[in-house]
């Protein structure tokens, strides 16, 4: 299969997946709840209110027609109105999505920075104390419940040591007295754009604990994957060849062996980002992070299905898009992937 055909097939597959995802979300949000109209009509609705809601939501239309209009609405970014706040959901998403993406990006970066070098070092010193300790650390990071780790980190670094802020995205003083102009929605970037380094510092301090919490699991996975990939690579002949040419162990490990691990590294990147996107549901409530995750978990409690559906849909789109990009990058870097 050529690269072009691979690309086409991969795109078609993604389109199919998005359609399937839309359908599942539709079923979960519009069909499964016992009576969406009753939910929409508010607390203790009268029969007339429910009928009115049913008409407003077009719930009386046949299912295929409802799915079609649902799909069209989703595609055009019209996610409807929140049952609870009655605000347009699209508007909320615009505010919350960047916060979640920022958190996910930083935690992914942390996971890679911690996990990949640690895995490479473990592979280079197989059986050493570093390898053993790292192996335990990796498995512990994978077994730690995210929400519990979040609470422990909060208790240690914020409540006991007072080193880092407990929760939120920015300090109240900054948010109130000198608010940051929203350009991209990413606080770190907006702060740099505005030249506000006090805000940058504050935003970074707020990011550390939630990002670290989300990074733990993927860092553990990254370490284990990198270790096994590197053990295989270090046994290859070209590594022996450069050793026999007198290159230093560090240059061999990071300059020659690690670049061969680009495929596992991309896999790790995908896993980390996906984990961060979903783990956000847990971490954002604990750290009061104003992102999609918290938005969803609040919607869950109030059974606000359009919100859950829209957020699930948007996050899944991010996820599908990222997987598509990663697959294409991988196919470009290593043409053998496209041939499968």
Partner 1 sequence: MLEIANLSVTLPSRRGPLHVLRRIDLSMAKGQIHGLIGESGCGKTMTAMALLGLLPEGAVVAADRFRFDGDEVAGRVKTLRGRRIALISQDPAAALNPVLTIGRQMDDVIRSHHALPRPERQAKAVDILAATGLPDPQNLLRRYPHQLSGGMQQRVVIAQALATGADFLIADEPTTALDVTVGAQVLRLLRDLVASRGLTVLMITHDMDVVAETCDRATVLYAGISVEEGPVGALLDHPRHPYTQALLAALPDAAPHGARLAAVEGSIPPPTETLPGCAFAARCPHATAACAAPPPLRNAGGQSWSCHLELP
Partner 2 sequence: MTLFSRLGPKGTIALAVVAAFLLLAVLAPWLAPFPEQGAGAPNIAEKFLPPMPPHLLGTDHLGRDMLSRVIYGGRVSLSSGLLIVLVSLAVGLPIGMIAGYAGGWWDEALMRLTDVFLAFPALLLAVLMAAALGPGLLNAVLAVAVTWWPWYARMARAEVLTLRSQPYVEAARLMGVSNSRILLRHVLPAALRPLSVQAAMDVGPALLTASALSFLGLGALPPTADWGQIVDAGRKFFPERWWYSVAPGMAIFVLALAFAALGDALRDGEQKDA
Contact set with partner 2 (CB under 8 A)? 13, 16-18, 20-21, 24-25, 28-29, 32-33, 139-140, 142-148, 151-152, 154-155, 159-160, 274, 277-279, 281-282, 285-286, 296-297, 299-301, 303, 305, 308-309, 311-312, 315-316, 319-320, 323
CB of 114 or CB of 234, closer to partner 1: 234
Measure the CA–CA gap between 155 and 110, rounded to whole angstroms. 21
Among 28, 151, 158, 262, binds partner 1 (CB under 8 A): 262
Q: What angle do CA 276, 94, 203 make, to 5 degrees?
A: 60
What gap in Å lies between CA 142 and CA 82, rounded to an integer? 36
Which tokens belong to 140?
Answer: 């512990």
- Is residue 141 packed enough to be buried (19+ CB in 10 Å), middle (13-18) or exposed (0-12)? buried
- Separation of alpha carbons 272 and 281, rounded Å: 15
259 sits near partner 1 (criterion: CB under 8 A): yes
Q: Which does 88 bind (CB under 5 to 8 A by kind): partner 2, partner 1, none?
A: none
Please provide the size of the chain in residues: 340
Min separation Cβ 316 and partner 2, Å: 6
218 contacts 275 by C-beta, under 8 angstroms: yes
Cβ atoms of residues 59 and 37 within 8 Å: yes
237 binds, among partner 2, partner 1, none (CB under 5 to 8 A by kind): partner 1
Burial zone of 157 (CB within 10 Å; 0-12 exposed, 13-18 middle, 19+ buried): middle
User: Token pair of 81, please?
Assistant: 């109105």
Nearer to partner 2, 26 or 191 (CB): 26
**CA 130 to the chain's CA centroid:** 30
Nearest residue (CB) to partner 1, 179 versus 259? 259
Question: How far apart are alpha carbons 320 and 63 in whole angstroms?
Answer: 26
Q: In this chain, which stretch among 66-74, 115-123, 246-254, 274-282 interacts with partner 1, using CB under 8 A?
A: 246-254
Helix, strand or coil, per DSSP, at residue 60: coil
Q: Which residue among 236, 288, 303, 332 contacts partner 1 (CB under 8 A)?
A: 236
Residue 128 binding partner 1, by CB under 8 A: no
- Member of 163, 240, 321, 325 binding partner 1 (CB under 8 A): 240
256 binds partner 1 (CB under 8 A): yes
Instruction: Give whichever of 227 and 256 is closer to partner 1, judged by the CB atom.
Output: 256
Q: How many residues bind partner 1 (CB under 8 A)?
A: 18
Q: Which one of 49, 167, 171, 260 is in contact with partner 1 (CB under 8 A)? A: 260
Q: Quick one: which segment of 51-59, 157-165, 236-244, 318-326 binds partner 1 (CB under 8 A)?
A: 236-244
Locate 212 and state its tokens: 């670290």
329 binds partner 1 (CB under 8 A): no
Sign of CA dihedral 17, 18, 20, 25: positive
Contact residues for partner 1, defined by CB under 8 A: 236-238, 240-248, 251, 255-256, 259-260, 262
């Amino acid at each position: 299969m050529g690269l072009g055909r691979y690309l086409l097939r991969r795109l078609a597959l993604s389109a199919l997946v998005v359609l399937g995802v839309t359908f599942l979300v539709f079923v979960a949000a519009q069909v499964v709840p016992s009576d969406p109209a009753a939910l929409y009509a508010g607390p203790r609705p009268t029969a007339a209110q429910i009928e009115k809601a049913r008409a407003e939501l077009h719930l009386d239309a046949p299912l295929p027609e409802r799915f079609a209009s649902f799909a069209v609405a989703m595609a055009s970014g019209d996610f409807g109105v929140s049952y609870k706040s009655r605000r347009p959901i699209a508007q909320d998403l615009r505010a919350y999505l960047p916060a979640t993406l920022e958190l996910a990006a930083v935690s992914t970066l942390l996971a890679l920075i911690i996990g990949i070098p640690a895995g490479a070092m473990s592979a280079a010193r197989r059986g050493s104390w570093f390898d053993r300790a790292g192996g335990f650390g990796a498995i512990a990071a994978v077994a730690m419940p995210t929400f519990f780790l979040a609470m422990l980190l909060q208790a240690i670094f914020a409540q006991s040591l007072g080193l880092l802020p407990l929760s939120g995205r920015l300090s109240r003083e900054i948010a109130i007295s000198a608010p940051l102009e929203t350009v991209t929605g990413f606080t770190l970037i907006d702060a740099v754009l505005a030249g506000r380094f006090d805000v940058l510092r504050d935003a970074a301090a707020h990011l550390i604990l939630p990002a670290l919490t989300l990074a733990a699991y993927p860092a553990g996975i990254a370490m284990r994957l990198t270790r096994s990939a590197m053990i295989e690579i270090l046994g290859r002949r070209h590594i022996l060849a450069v050793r026999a040419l007198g290159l230093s162990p560090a240059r061999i490990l990071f300059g020659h062996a690690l670049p061969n691990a680009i495929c596992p590294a991309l896999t790790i990147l995908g896993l980390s980002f996906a984990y961060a996107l979903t783990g956000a549901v847990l971490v954002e409530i604990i750290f009061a992070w104003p992102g999609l995750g918290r938005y969803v978990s609040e919607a869950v409690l109030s059974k606000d299905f359009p919100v859950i559906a829209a957020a699930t849909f948007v996050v899944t789109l991010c996820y599908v898009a990222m997987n598509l990009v990663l697959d294409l990058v991988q196919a470009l870097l290593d043409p053998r992937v496209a041939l499968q």
